[in-house]
């Protein structure tokens, strides 16, 4: 791992567009931060960024800020990546935790009338979830048929509701972006949510006490329907989301504490443990919907 000096952290580039291992690399870097450090994230090697990586970046900076008690300076951001951060409204949405060196403005800056994406949105209450669902419906209705839109909104509701109901984090976030594949008549929609709360293990333990030996076992319980809700039903919303991804040729990557799961509509679930510990829960959901013919 490269570092530039004792007060700098390198934001390592993604290994490939289909990989989530860069989140572990990033989280591994920031867990080494000490109190009162002057922290710089050098992003000169960051070739691209996606919703899940943007959520990971914001959460990493939040984590650093909570320890160092200072904002994180993002330095040497490639132009396309900087445009993406502007487009996602991250410089404003994450201003308590992030400063961006030489931040410019351009035509990709946030457009409130966009039909391409849901910019960084805070989730800390029922009204926040309702706002995110309403705005997402307005943004994506021109691209998706009724069934597809309902599937997207149902997934969003489950994932965002988990943040305020279970995480104990008042500053969870969600980002959504669509990627059109005209040649295949497909719209790929990527939903990323994350928080720095108690995680799936903590959520289940608050209700049931210790019921498993490690974080990956708690993920398995949640995916099988074990719920922290008072009704005992719902499986933290994950079981329903997994059904939706099966119906829409999708995948979900879920990371909590030091464990993760990748569930793909073709290959099923793969669990991993022993990752670097990072608080809360981070989720990347990808769904593939038929493109409306008149879009």
Cα 146 to Cα 40, 96, 249, distances in angstroms: 45, 38, 17
Q: What is the pLDDT of residue 220?
A: 93
3-class secondary-structure state, position 295:
coil
What is 1-103's CATH number?
A: 3.30.750.24
Does residue 287 contact residue 250 with C-beta atoms inside 8 Å?
Answer: yes
Q: Name residue, tokens 């569930």.
A: 263
Residues forming CATH 3.30.565.10 domain(s) in the chain: 117-295
What residues form DSSP beta bridges with 9? 41
Residue partners of 97: CB distance under 8 A and separation at least 6: 58, 61, 62, 64, 65, 71, 72
Does residue 245 contact residue 284 with C-beta atoms inside 8 Å?
Answer: no
Does residue 56 contact residue 282 with C-beta atoms inside 8 Å?
Answer: yes
Q: What is the pLDDT of residue 234?
A: 44
* CATH number 3.30.565.10 given to 117-295: yes
Instruction: Quote the CA–CA distance of 290 and 121 in Å, as a whole number.
Output: 26
DSSP class of 224:
T
Helix (H) or strand (E) holding 265: none
Residues forming CATH 3.30.750.24 domain(s) in the chain: 1-103
State the sign of the Cα–Cα–Cα–Cα dihedral 264, 246, 142, 290.
positive
Predicted confidence (pLDDT) per residue in 194-251, tens digit = 999 999 999 999 989 999 999 999 999 999 888 766 544 444 478 889 999 999 999 9
Cα dihedral 9/10/11/12 (nearest 10): -140
Residue 135, CB half-sphere, CA atoms under 13 Å: how many? 20
Angle between helix axes 21-30 and 51-68 (nearest 10 degrees) is 10
Q: Give the residues of the chain that fall short of pLDDT 70.
A: 1-21, 36, 105-115, 228-236, 293-295
Predicted structure pTM score: 0.90
Residue 93, CB half-sphere, CA atoms under 13 Å: how many? 23
Helix (H) or strand (E) holding 178: strand 172-181
Q: Name residue, tokens 């669902």.
A: 133
Predicted confidence (pLDDT) per residue in 139-151, tens digit = 999 989 999 999 9
Q: What is the pLDDT of residue 13?
A: 52
């Amino acid at each position: 791992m490269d570092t530039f000096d004792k007060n700098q952290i390198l934001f390592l580039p993604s290994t490939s567009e289909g990989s989530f291992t860069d989140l572990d690399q990033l989280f591994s870097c920031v867990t080494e931060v000490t109190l009162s450090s002057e922290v710089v994230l050098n992003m000169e090697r960051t070739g691209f960024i996606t919703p899940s990586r943007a959520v990971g970046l914001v959460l990493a900076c939040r984590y650093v800020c909570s320890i160092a008690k200072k904002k994180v300076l993002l330095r040497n951001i490639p132009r396309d990546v900087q445009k993406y951060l502007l487009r996602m409204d991250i410089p404003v949405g994450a201003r308590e935790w992030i400063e961006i060196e030489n931040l410019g403005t351009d035509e990709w800056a946030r457009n409130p009338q966009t039909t391409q994406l849901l910019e960084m949105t805070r989730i800390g209450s029922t009204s926040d979830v309702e706002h995110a669902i309403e705005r997402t419906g307005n943004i994506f209705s021109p691209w998706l048929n009724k069934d597809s839109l309902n599937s997207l909104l149902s997934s969003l509701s489950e994932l965002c509701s988990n943040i305020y109901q279970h995480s104990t984090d008042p500053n969870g976030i969600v980002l959504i972006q669509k990627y059109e594949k005209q040649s295949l008549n497909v719209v790929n929609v990527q939903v990323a949510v994350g928080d720095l709360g108690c995680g799936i293990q903590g959520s289940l333990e608050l209700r049931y006490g210790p019921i498993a030996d490690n974080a990956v076992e708690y993920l398995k319980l949640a995916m099988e329907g074990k719920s922290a809700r008072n009704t005992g039903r719902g499986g933290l919303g994950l079981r329903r989301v997994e059904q939706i991804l099966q119906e829409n040729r999708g995948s979900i990557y879920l990371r909590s504490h030091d464990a993760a799961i990748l569930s793909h509509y073709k290959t099923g679930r793969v669990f991993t443990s022993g990752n670097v510990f990072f608080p809360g829960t981070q989720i990347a959901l990808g769904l593939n919907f038929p493109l409306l013919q008149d879009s």
